[in-house]
Amino acid sequence: MKKYLKYISIACTALFLASCSDSYLDVNEDTNSPTIAVLGPELVLPVGQYWSAEIHNRDRYTNTLGNMFMVNWSQADGYSWYNDEFLYNVTTSFYSQIWDRTYRDALKNYRVLQAYQGDTYSNYRAIGKIMESYHFQILVDIYGDIPYFEALGRGVNPTPSYDDAQAIYEDLVVQLDAAMEMIDNATESAIVPSDDDTMFHGDMETWKKFANTIKLRVLVRQSGEGSLNSSFAGMSTIGFITDDVTVDPGYAMAENQQSPFWNAYGRDSGGNIINNNNATCATPFALDFLEGNNDPRVDYIYEHPATGHLGVPQGIADYDIPVVDQYDPIRVSNIGPGLLKSATQPAVIFTAADSYFLQAEAIFKGYLPGDAQVAYENGITASFDYLGAPGATDYYTQALPNVGWNASSNKMRAIITQKWVALNGVDAIQSWFDYNRTGFPANLPVSLRASTPDRPVRLFYPSSELTANAANVPSQPNAFTVKIFWAN
Q: How far is CA 2 from the centre of its chain?
A: 24
C-alpha–C-alpha distance, residues 458 and 119, integer Å: 41
pLDDT surpassing 80 at residue 16: no
Q: Which residues pair with 347 in a beta bridge?
A: 247
pLDDT surpassing 90 at residue 205: yes
All domains of the chain in start order, with CATH: 1-47+96-237+461-488 (1.25.40.390), 61-94+276-338+351-456 (1.25.40.390)
- What average pLDDT score do residues 466-487 get? 97
C-alpha–C-alpha distance, residues 477 and 473, integer Å: 11
pLDDT in tens, 413-451: 999 999 999 999 999 999 999 999 999 999 999 999 999
Q: How far is CA 181 from the centre of its chain?
A: 25
pLDDT at residue 31 in the model: 44
Nearest to 6 by CA among 256, 271, 346, 262: 256
pTM: 0.95
Q: Which residues pair with 162 in a beta bridge?
A: 147
Q: Quick check: 442 and 415 in contact, CB under 8 A?
A: no
Residue 460's contacts (CB-CB under 8 Å, 6 or more residues apart) are: 90, 91, 92, 94, 476, 479
pLDDT at residue 35 in the model: 60
- What average pLDDT score do residues 119-127 get? 98
Alpha-carbon torsion, ordered 449, 451, 455, 456, to 10 deg: -120
- Residue 140's alpha-carbon distances to 135, 292, 310, 395, 433, in angstroms, are 9, 35, 36, 35, 11
Question: How many helices and strands (H and E) does the chain possess?
Answer: 21, 6
Radius of gyration of the chain (CA): 22
- What average pLDDT score do residues 136-155 get? 94
pLDDT in tens, 21-48: 345 454 444 444 546 656 899 999 999 9
Strands (E), 188-236: none
Q: Quick check: 72 and 435 in contact, CB under 8 A?
A: no
C-alpha–C-alpha distance, residues 129 and 180, integer Å: 9
Burial class (CB in 10 A: 0-12, 13-18, 19+), 188: exposed
pLDDT in tens, 324-338: 999 999 999 999 999
Confidence of residue 188 (pLDDT cuts 50, 70, 90): very high
Q: Which amino acid is at 201?
A: H
CB atoms within 10 A of CB 201: 14
pLDDT at residue 27 in the model: 44
Residue 242's contacts (CB-CB under 8 Å, 6 or more residues apart) are: 352, 355
Q: How far is CA 65 from the centre of its chain?
A: 10
pLDDT in tens, 234-268: 999 999 999 999 999 999 999 999 999 999 999 99
pLDDT at residue 230 in the model: 84
Higher pLDDT, 117 or 37: 117
